[in-house]
Amino acid sequence: LRLQAAAMLLGAPALYMVGESTTVMTVWVFCALYGVFRGLFEINTHTSLFDVVPARYRATAVGLLTMFGFLAGGTVGPWLVGFHMKRIGTEAGMQLGFKLMAAAYLVGGVAMLSSLLFTFQRDRLED
């Protein structure tokens, strides 16, 4: 959880800067930086889940995690960005979209950190 919390908290400013960048080169740099942090988060997702979910429920937990991840990130996110692009213009809508993604990463990072500090040791399974 430490790596995941850190990756999300460090990925948030990278996402924010993608939306704030004014040159193609800075967009590329911050996209690459975000990609590194996204990868560091993603590589431990199942491991963290398996630390607190009994073995007999792990397949279901992975299915639910994947389903909700795609519903939120793959459905609601693009719809929300498209809505704002129509409402305030393409450029401003995209900038707002990256700011909203950064905010979501920040909230997720704080949630991961809170879990690590307050509930993980209590809920961790001994295999």
pLDDT exceeds cutoff 80 at 81: yes
For the whole model, what pTM was predicted? 0.86
Percent of the chain with pLDDT over 70: 99
Helices (H), 1-127: 2-20, 24-42, 45-52, 58-71, 77-88, 90-118, 120-123
Residues 2-58 have pLDDT tens digits of: 999 999 999 999 999 999 999 999 999 999 999 999 999 999 899 999 999 999 999
Phi, psi dihedral angles at 119 (to 5 degrees): -130, -20
pLDDT tier at 126 (50, 70, 90 boundaries)?
confident
Domain boundaries, the chain: 2-66+98-123
**Amino acid at the residue 57:** Y
Percent of the chain with pLDDT over 90: 86
